[in-house]
């Protein structure tokens, strides 16, 4: 289909003449309040300053109109002081932080810093505008090429399970899919980012000749260039442009259990009870599909399955066990459901093929009994209203705590070219295809926020688009298969996704499908893989076990005293001990545009060895995580947990590092061999870190943080701000939270605890801190009452 498309584009070029920016010896421009408008022979260019470090570029064919309300961008341009300088064949716009030069002959734009350092430049490549007939609309296929430095590393583009850290030398067809979530945004190690604001199927290409975006449909080229100085600065710009990430409830950072699927309310509640009986921490259970019954009632948003006779009791029983439940909902409906009937009456359902195809549960699908399931039109505000009406009535009213929004790509099977001609509220499906997850997730978030402020929105979703961080969504990497390669690929995919500005990502612990392991959980190598995957997930924004083919509860992997079981329990406990650290880092995301999963380039951009390192990362600002991504302890399908296995770990230069498990100190800039038995994930703490450690609990809010251990890793000065609030409402948006800042002075060997800032209902007025210095193993216990303290060591 792709080859046919470009062949037709070639015919269009012959018939209608593709448009590049032609030479113009007499440029005609006007200064606007935000920038300039420049008229060339065959096209118009408009540059708008949004901030001193961010500009929007719009290019349109001559004598065409361009009106667009962005689905991703929420920032309104701010009036920015700038000046214009004219030279032969060039106009330069200068703000406080950026200089944008336009070649008035070619129309190409270059971006430099005030010190003349070149960041990025456009280049003349494929035609900018190729006439394209989108159903009954005359429009264009749009393209823009750029020149990057040969050794320049770039990051982002979404979830690409290609094992690459730097996204150079590849071509990507960006159409949302189960395991690939595309964001047309990349950022450079040089400290800039570029967001291509287009929602149609798009090709990103990078090779020795050029780096380009080409989108099938666009009335014009529309992109944003931003300079942040470093990765954090670029992400801050992207979130300023497309929306900030709200706080999740504290309980979402605990451990989550799921499988495909729990088949009765007795089974679902029983899993939570079993965890409580074992004393293994758990905060959430997930109810997967078919609680609605057969496929003709697909996604009915109510319990019609006879195995769930009293859903209110199920929810109440889970809550009584101090756990939470989220539930599977989809972007499609079966023909016998109430939502389907109302959406069909309003012509708000699409006709392309989706999953499930059959009304029967057999595999392969029995097409003698088609399901009739259809995807709804989330671009339509009335459709989003209908979606929430039934969600609120059938599920939220029961006390369901959050939403597992599956198939938010959506599932699109047996793809035909005419499928993209489907009419949506905003035009053809082709025109807005990739923004589908943004619209459907956004609809649920906005409606729930309008319904209550007493409960924070939490959405687990399978797909994402630029700006989705503002909708309280945590995106998982789709239906992966269990393999060591897949586990390793999750690392770079999660990091690149975070580098697009969307901070919350997770994966199915153990992989969704267990195709490679015929004996499933009886296969020792799979048990080893599962343990390593869970260790990795301990240091991701959501720790969630899920999959098909075999159950994944901890008690399926043995019992206490056995190697795999003990390893799993150890890391679930570790996750809970780090909740004060994780929740405080989450506040840095909401309040200071930080990221939880941090590619090493974010903190060590001058260390060339980390620029393309795809199997290590920082978790928050203190933990260096090096997941084990190959089998060490199962040879010939036999367990041998006594042998010695090692994992090579590179410690970035410019700092010292502490082995989390032993306290041993290492200089940065070296690769070490870390012994990694089945219960050891190589972890290192950056010198100059302060890490709070919480109590042993069975669920996140079981105990308050009145007695925390504060671990100090000296070697250089350090700061950490402990954040607390009411855990699950939006009062923090009105100032109901507290911050306690810890400052370590390395020269004086002195810790300052600043005056507590803020207040909220239930805030601890007095508490104990056990202050622990890692180098000397010195510990002091103090009582803190909210006033400044200075403690010398």
Question: For 67-76, what is each residue's pLDDT tens digit?
Answer: 999 999 999 9
Q: How far apart are CA 765 and CA 644, in angstroms?
A: 49
pLDDT confidence of 451, banded at 50, 70, 90? very high
**Tokens standing for residue 613:** 């390192």
Q: How far apart are CA 62 and CA 371, in angstroms?
A: 48
How confident is the model at residue 9, as a pLDDT? 41
Closest of 187, 286, 231, 274 to residue 601, by C-alpha: 231
Q: How far apart are CA 625 and CA 682, in angstroms?
A: 6
* Model pTM score: 0.96
> Residue holding tokens 């498990």?
661
Contact 130, 140 (CB under 8 A): yes
> Residue holding tokens 């006879």?
306
- DSSP label at 76? P
Q: Which residues contact 8 (CB under 8 A, 6 or more apart)?
A: none
- What are the structural domains, with CATH classification, of the chain? 2-242 (2.60.40.1760), 250-593 (3.20.20.80), 704-792 (2.60.40.1180)
Q: How far apart are CA 535 and CA 557, in angstroms?
A: 15
Contact 293, 739 (CB under 8 A): no
CA 59 from centre of chain: 30
Active-site residue list: 406, 409, 479
Q: How far apart are CA 742 and CA 754, in angstroms?
A: 7
- Give residue-wise pLDDT tens across range 135-177: 999 999 999 999 999 999 999 999 999 999 999 999 999 999 9
Provide mean pLDDT across the span 217-227.
Answer: 97
Q: How far apart are CA 20 and CA 42, in angstroms?
A: 7
How does the average pLDDT of the chain come out, rounded?
A: 95
In three-state secondary structure terms, 269 is helix
Q: How far apart are CA 135 and CA 671, in angstroms?
A: 57
pLDDT confidence of 18, banded at 50, 70, 90? low
CA distances from 339 to 288, 349, 378, 389, 448 (A): 19, 10, 13, 9, 18
- DSSP label at 418? G
CA angle 304, 307, 313 (to 5 degrees): 85
Task: Say which range, 366-370, 445-449, 591-595, 665-669, has the weakest mean pLDDT.
Answer: 366-370
Q: How far apart are CA 295 and CA 333, in angstroms?
A: 9
**Does residue 156 come out as left (phi exceeding 0), alpha (psi in the -120 to 50 range) or beta?**
left
How confident is the model at residue 14, as a pLDDT? 34
pLDDT confidence of 4, banded at 50, 70, 90? very low
Contact 705, 580 (CB under 8 A): yes
Q: Could you give the count of Cα atoms lying within 13 Å of 393 in the half-sphere of its Cβ? A: 10
How confident is the model at residue 16, as a pLDDT? 39
- Give residue-wise pLDDT tens across range 525-571: 999 999 999 999 999 999 999 999 999 999 999 999 999 999 999 99
How confident is the model at residue 20, as a pLDDT? 60
How confident is the model at residue 741, as a pLDDT? 98
């Amino acid at each position: 289909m792709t080859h046919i498309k470009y062949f037709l584009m070639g015919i269009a070029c012959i018939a209608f003449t593709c448009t590049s920016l032609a030479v113009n010896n007499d440029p005609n421009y006007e200064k606007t309040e935000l920038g300039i408008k420049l008229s060339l022979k065959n096209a118009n260019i408009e540059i708008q300053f949004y901030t001193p470090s961010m500009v929007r570029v719009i290019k349109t064919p001559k004598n065409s109109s361009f009106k667009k309300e962005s689905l991703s961008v929420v920032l309104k341009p701010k009036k920015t002081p700038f000046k214009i300088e004219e030279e032969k064949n060039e106009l330069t716009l200068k703000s406080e932080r950026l200089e944008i030069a336009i070649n008035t002959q070619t129309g190409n734009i270059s971006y430099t810093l005030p010190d003349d350092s070149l960041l990025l430049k456009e280049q003349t490549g494929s035609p900018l505008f190729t006439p394209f007939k989108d159903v009954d609309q005359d429009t264009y296929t749009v393209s823009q090429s750029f020149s990057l430095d040969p050794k320049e590393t770039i990051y982002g583009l979404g979830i690409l399970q290609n094992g690459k850290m730097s996204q150079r030398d590849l071509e990507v067809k960006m159409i949302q899919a189960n395991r690939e979530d595309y964001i047309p945004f990349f950022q450079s190690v040089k400290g800039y980012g570029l967001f291509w604001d287009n929602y149609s199927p798009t090709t990103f290409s990078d090779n020795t000749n050029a780096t380009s975006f080409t989108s099938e449909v666009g009335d014009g080229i529309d992109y944003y260039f931003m300079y942040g100085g470093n990765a954090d600065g670029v992400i801050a710009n992207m979130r300023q442009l497309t929306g900030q990430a709200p706080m999740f409830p504290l309980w979402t950072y605990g451990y989550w259990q799921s499988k495909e699927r729990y088949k009765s309310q007795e089974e679902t509640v029983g899993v939570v009870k079993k965890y409580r009986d074992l004393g293994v921490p758990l905060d959430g259970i997930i109810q997967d599909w078919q609680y609605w019954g057969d496929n003709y009632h697909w996604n009915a948003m109510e319990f019609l399955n006879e195995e769930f006779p009293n859903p209110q009791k199920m929810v109440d029983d889970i809550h009584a066990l101090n756990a939470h439940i989220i539930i599977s909902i989809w972007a499609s409906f079966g023909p016998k459901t109430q939502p389907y009937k109302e959406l069909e009456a309003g012509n708000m359902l699409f006709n392309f093929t989706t999953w499930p195809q059959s009304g029967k549960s057999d595999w392969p699908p029995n097409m003698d009994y088609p399901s009739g399931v259809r995807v709804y039109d989330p671009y339509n505000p009335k459709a989003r209203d209908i979606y929430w009406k039934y969600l609120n009535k059938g599920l939220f009213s029961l006390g369901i705590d959050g939403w597992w929004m599956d198939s938010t790509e959506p599932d699109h099977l047996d793809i035909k070219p005419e499928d993209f001609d489907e009419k949506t509220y905003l035009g053809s499906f082709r025109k807005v295809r990739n923004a589908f997850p943004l619209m459907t997730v956004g609809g649920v978030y906005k409606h729930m926020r309008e319904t209550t402020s007493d409960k924070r929105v939490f959405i687990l979703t399978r797909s994402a688009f630029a700006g989705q961080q503002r909708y309280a969504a945590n995106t998982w990497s789709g239906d992966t298969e269990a393999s060591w390669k897949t586990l390793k690929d999750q690392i770079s995919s999660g990091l690149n996704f975070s580098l697009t500005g969307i901070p919350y990502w997770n994966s199915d612990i153990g992989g969704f499908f267990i195709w490679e392991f015929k004996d499933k959980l009886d296969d020792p190598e799979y048990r080893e893989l599962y343990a390593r995957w869970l260790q990795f997930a301990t240091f991701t924004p959501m720790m969630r076990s899920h999959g098909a083919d075999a159950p994944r509860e901890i008690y399926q992997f043995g019992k206490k005293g056995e190697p795999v079981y003990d390893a799993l329990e150890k890391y679930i406990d570790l996750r809970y001990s780090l909740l004060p650290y994780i929740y405080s880092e989450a506040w840095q995301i909401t309040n200071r545009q930080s990221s939880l999963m941090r590619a090493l380039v974010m903190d060590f951009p001058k260390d060339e060895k980390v620029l393309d390192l795809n199997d290590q990362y920082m978790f928050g600002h203190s933990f260096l995580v090096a997941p084990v991504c190959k089998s060490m302890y199962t040879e010939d399908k036999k367990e041998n947990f006594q042998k010695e296995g090692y994992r090579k770990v590179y410690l970035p230069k410019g700092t010292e590092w502490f082995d989390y498990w032993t306290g041993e100190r290492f200089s940065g800039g070296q690769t070490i061999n870390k012994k990694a038995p089945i219960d050891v994930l190589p972890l290192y703490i950056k010198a100059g870190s302060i890490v709070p450690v919480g109590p042993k609990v069975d669920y996140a809010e079981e105990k308050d943080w009145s007695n925390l251990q504060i671990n100090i890793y000296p070697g250089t000065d350090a700061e950490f701000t402990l954040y607390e609030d009411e855990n699950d409402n939006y009062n923090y948006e009105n100032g109901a939270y507290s911050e306690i800042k810890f400052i370590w002075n390395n020269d004086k060997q002195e810790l300052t605890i600043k005056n507590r800032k803020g207040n909220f209902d239930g805030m601890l007025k007095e508490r104990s801190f056990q202050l622990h210095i890692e180098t000397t193993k010195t510990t002091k216990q103090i009582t803190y009452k909210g006033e400044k303290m200075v403690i010398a060591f």
